[in-house]
Structure 1
Amino acid sequence: MPRRRIGFWYRFAAVICKPPLVVLIKRDWRGMENIPAEGGFITAVNHNSHIDPFAYAHFQYNTGRVPRFLAKSGLFKKGFVGAAMRGTGQIPVYRESTDALSAFRAAIDAVERGECVAFYPEGTLTRDPDGWPMTGKTGAARVALQTRCPVIPVAQWGANEILPPYARKPRLLPRKTHRVLAGPPVDLDRFYDREMTPELLKEATEAIMAAITRQLEEIRGEKAPATPYDPRRERVEQRRKTRAQTRGADPRQNRVRGGRTAPDGRAAAREEGLGS
């Protein structure tokens, strides 16, 4: 399987981005030998800062295998930024539209062309209060099982100390260290040649997230919580609390129009994609 050349736009972006990254951030990079030298593959990376895509791309650029990130489609329409996104081969994600599946197809095509596709399986910045990986979404597992490409779990820590999740201002001093640890491929053999059901994808995703978490435990020198933070369950619990508070304030809210009982927690869970 071929290996894609880095290309003009990626080299141009490196000329612009590498100098400030080198000046502002110390580096502790490990596991580069686990990045495949040839062929298509996926990297599955934890996400704890708005700037960690730049810091992580710096790491992987130095391996000679540049990543293709899945990014919001709006970024591709912003002048020079959009030109750079298109030129470097990033993959637009069209959320809430008829083109929503195009990113999935593009990711498969990129892997089959011998490229690296970088996934943030959490789908957004972690909301875990201690910065640990959350439960993951199934996109990376789906592409991996369909293409049978290697999935390299990558943990990173340090960009979040410069710009914490949802913070507005960076903390540049004292100079922080960006730590990256790329592990060996996740063993997904037990999921091959089976029907790609939601349950199978969930199990494969849990295996990928567990591998990322183990890498982060090694970086941080501490154990992660036994149960990953699940933002969907958090939303369900918040809805329950809100309804309970509303009912406590006004007993008439226990019933809705037509005399039917207000939906219970199981209905709310189904709305959030939990359970059956």
Structure 2
Amino acid sequence: MPAPQRSNRAYRVVARIVRPVLFAMMRRDWRGAEHLPASGGFIAAANHMTNLDPLTFAHYLYDHGFAPKILAKASLFKYPVLGATLRATGQIPVFRNTSQAGQSLDSAVQALRDGECVAVFPEGTLTRDPDLWPMVGKTGVARLALMTRAPVIPVAQWGPQDILGRYSKVLKPFPRKKVSVVAGPPVVLDDLYDRPLDTATLREATERVLAAITVILEDLRGEPAPEVRFDVRRAKPAGERPDDGDRPTTPTNA
């Protein structure tokens, strides 16, 4: 398979190492690639259940000709090997609650203007929903989409959690697990473009993105999602951990 045109040498080297490992652990069910734009920058937005998600998400996009720029927590860039890999492949650090927070958005905006695929997890971290449904998201994806007017492609994943549990550090690669990654049509946001970029608009755009992901996930799982989306600010499921974001595993969006 030819490497994506926009992939650099480091990206191709990492792909040659990681893709065979993923092939060995999973049976791919890749669908919906016809919804990925043939040209121009776009945002790919996916649900987030396990620290393996970024790799399966990137694998799906890479297999369809895109070398995604993933928004990754800045803390992950501090680990020697992982950080060097993230920098070399052009991933975008997210600086949470600091004076540098705006740099992440600026970098993502520039990547989209350069025609790149920017990959995000709207929930900001692993879902806290007890049954792994998408929870209430952060508004970063909405802000990015409304500022750039780049298309947002919803992507649902199901199966990575069978290889690596939500909070587990132990891989279960055998027997090979089925991993489904399915993209849907662009989320309709154009009616929000001329509205003020206030909290109400950002929350509405964010919920539209999550709703589109959830619809695809319902089809993958063969069951309906809860009527009320889990909100970590209002409830905490049994066994919730305070933070899973600083582990030196794989990048996740903020």
Common fold, TM-score beyond 0.5?
yes
- Amino acid of the structure 1 residue aligned with 2:56: A
Report the equivalent of 1:169: 170
CA-CA distance at 1:217 after TM superposition: 0.6
Distance 1:168 1:9 in 2: 26
Kindly tell me the number of residue pairs found equivalent between the two proteins. 235
* Corresponding residue for residue 11 of structure 2: 10
Per-residue deviation, 1:26: 0.7
How do 1:254-269 and structure 2 match up within 5 A? none
Q: CA deviation at 1:83?
A: 2.2
Output aligned runs, 1:18-167, within 5 Å.
18-167=19-168
Offset, 1:4: 6.3
Secondary structure of 2:129's counterpart equals coil
Distance 1:207 1:88 in 2: 30
CA contact (8 A) 1:135 1:206 kept: yes
Matched residue, 1:255: none
What is the SS of the residue equivalent to 1:43?
Answer: strand
Query: Which consecutive aligned stretches of 4+ in structure 1 deviate over 3 angstroms post-superposition?
Result: none
Structure 1, residues 46-93: CA drift from partner, whole Å, max 9, x if none? 000111111111111011112111112232233332222112110011
The aligned amino acid for 1:117 is V
Cα distance change, pair 21–100 in 1 and its aligned pair in 2 (3 A): same
Map of 2:220 onto structure 1: 219
- How does the TM-score come out when normalised to structure 2? 0.89
Once the two structures are superposed, what CA deviation does each residue of 1:204-243 show, in whole Å capped at 9, x if it has no partner?
A: 11111000000101111111011111101116x99xxxxx
Deviations 1:254-274 (A, max 9, x none): xxxxxxxxxxxxxxxxxxxxx
CA separation in 1, counterparts of 2:199 and 2:112? 22
Question: 1:122-167 deviations in whole A, cap 9, x for unaligned?
Answer: 0110111111000111101111011111000000011111111112
Letter in 2 for 1:142: R
Q: Aligned-residue CA RMSD in angstroms? A: 1.7
Provide the rounded CA distance (Å) in 2 between the counterparts of 1:17 and 1:4.
Answer: 18
Structure 1 regions of 5+ residues with no counterpart? 239-276
Which residue number corresponds to residue 249 of structure 2? none
Larger helix fraction of residues = 1
Tell which structure's C-alpha radius of gyration is larger.
Answer: 1
Identity of aligned residues (%): 51
Structure 1: how far apart are the matches of 2:67 and 2:229?
29
Change beyond 3 A, Cα 1:217–1:41: same
| Higher relative contact order (Cα pairs below 8 Å, separated by 6+ residues) | 2
Match of 1:197 in 2: 198
Q: Distance in 1 between matches of 2:204 and 2:78?
A: 36
CA contact (8 A) 2:123 2:137 kept: yes
* AA partner of residue 76 (structure 1): F
Secondary structure at the counterpart of residue 70 of structure 1: strand
Q: Partners in 2 of 1:67 and 1:155 — Cα distance?
A: 16
Q: After superposition, give the CA deviation of every residue in 1:12-50 in whole Å (9 maximum; x if it has no partner).
A: 110110111011111101011111121011011000011
Letter paired with 1:191: L
Q: Structure 1 counterpart of 2:197, which letter?
A: M
